């Protein structure tokens, strides 16, 4: 049977085996999908061993995405832009292809929630790996403006300069942000510690859409905060997780699984519904 897995550390909490097993059942593909948690300095060896032993493809998550970028034989254009790899496929001619499906997953999820990206003013919080992966797919949707704000402002400036050729992207310090924005995407890891990015409450209004890439069984700190300040449309990153997985599954198997039912099952599994 074709073997796939996700590499991460820690990775025991990963929902990827659950999601891909449902995708395989739905599309009648024969495959198994597991977990691998190599020590941080043993990822390269573990990756080699997995493919030497007949593995067909893998996902890569924290903290290995940047390292995976350097270990594959070739890169998709979107992985090259993202500077990180979250999906690897062993092609028929034995080449390890590195791809990045995170940004496509984000955009697919935003669209499935009915969020309009074209001509909209987007505020992206954070300038880490997730922000980098999101920038090209977001700019491809032709927003009127995309502003990056980050705690370490120089990183936001660096990202804006790097992606400037793809669209109207600028960096602004948190305290200088001027609204109104149509959509705020939180790609910081602040919610992981129950913290908030230093965003002025005045930027939140009733018609704004709020997206937190983090997810959990209850509202993230950022979503709770945004609701308190009047945001009516709030979304967490669970849909992005399922959509980036669907994109990876399509890269591996050449068949696109449906996501709605799988997302429902995942929410049930997490106790959200």
- Binding stretches for ligand NDP (CB under 6 A): 102, 105, 126-131, 150-152, 155, 187-190, 192, 195, 197, 213-215, 237, 240-241, 244
Sheet of strand 96-99, all strands in order from the earlier edge strand to the far edge:
31-36, 2-7, 57-60, 87-90, 96-99, 74-75
- Beta-carbon neighbour count of residue 58 at 10 Å? 29
Q: How far is the CB of 106 from ligand NDP (least distance, A)?
A: 8
**Is residue 156 a contact partner of residue 188, using CB atoms and an 8 Å limit?**
no
SS3 215: coil
b/e map 79-112, b = 16+ CB within 10 Å: bebbebbbbbbbeeeeebbbbbbbbbbbbbbbee
Q: How far is the CB of 13 from ligand NDP (least distance, A)?
A: 11
Q: How far is the CB of 126 from ligand NDP (least distance, A)?
A: 4
Verify whether residue 80 is a known catalytic residue. Answer: no
Q: How far is the CB of 18 from ligand NDP (least distance, A)?
A: 14
Of the pair 27, 189, the CB lying nearest ligand NDP is at: 189
Of the pair 198, 258, the CB lying nearest ligand NDP is at: 198
- Annotated active-site residue in 56, 65, 80, 111: 65
Of the pair 90, 252, the CB lying nearest ligand NDP is at: 252
Of the pair 90, 139, the CB lying nearest ligand NDP is at: 139
In the bound state, the residue with its beta carbon closest to ligand NDP is 128
252: tokens are 């591996």
Q: Which residues are marked as active site? A: 65
């Amino acid at each position: 049977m074709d073997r796939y897995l996700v590499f991460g550390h820690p990775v025991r909490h990963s929902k990827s085996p659950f999601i891909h097993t449902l995708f395989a059942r739905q599309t009648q593909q024969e495959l198994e999908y597991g977990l691998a948690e190599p020590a941080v300095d043993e990822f390269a060896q573990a990756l080699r061993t997995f493919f030497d032993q007949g593995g067909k493809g893998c996902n890569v998550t924290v903290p290995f995405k940047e390292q995976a970028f350097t270990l594959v034989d070739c890169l998709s254009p979107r992985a090259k832009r993202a500077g990180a790899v979250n999906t690897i496929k062993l092609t028929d001619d034995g080449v390890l292809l590195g791809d990045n499906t995170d940004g496509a997953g984000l955009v697919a999820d935003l669209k499935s929630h009915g969020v309009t990206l074209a001509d909209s003013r987007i505020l992206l919080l954070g300038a880490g790996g997730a922000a980098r992966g999101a920038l090209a797919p977001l700019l491809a949707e032709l927003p009127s403006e995309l502003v990056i704000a980050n705690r370490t402002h120089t990183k936001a400036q660096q990202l804006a300069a790097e992606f400037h050729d793809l669209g109207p992207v600028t960096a602004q310090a948190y305290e200088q942000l001027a609204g109104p924005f149509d959509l705020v995407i939180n790609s910081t890891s602040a919610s992981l510690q129950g913290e908030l990015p230093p965003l002025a409450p005045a930027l939140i209004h009733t018609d704004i859409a709020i997206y937190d890439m983090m997810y959990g069984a209850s509202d993230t700190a950022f979503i709770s905060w945004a609701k308190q300040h009047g945001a009516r449309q709030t979304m967490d990153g669970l849909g992005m997780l399922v959509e980036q997985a669907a994109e990876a599954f399509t890269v591996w198997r050449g068949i696109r699984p449906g996501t709605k039912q799988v997302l429902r099952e995942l929410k049930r599994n997490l106790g959200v519904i």
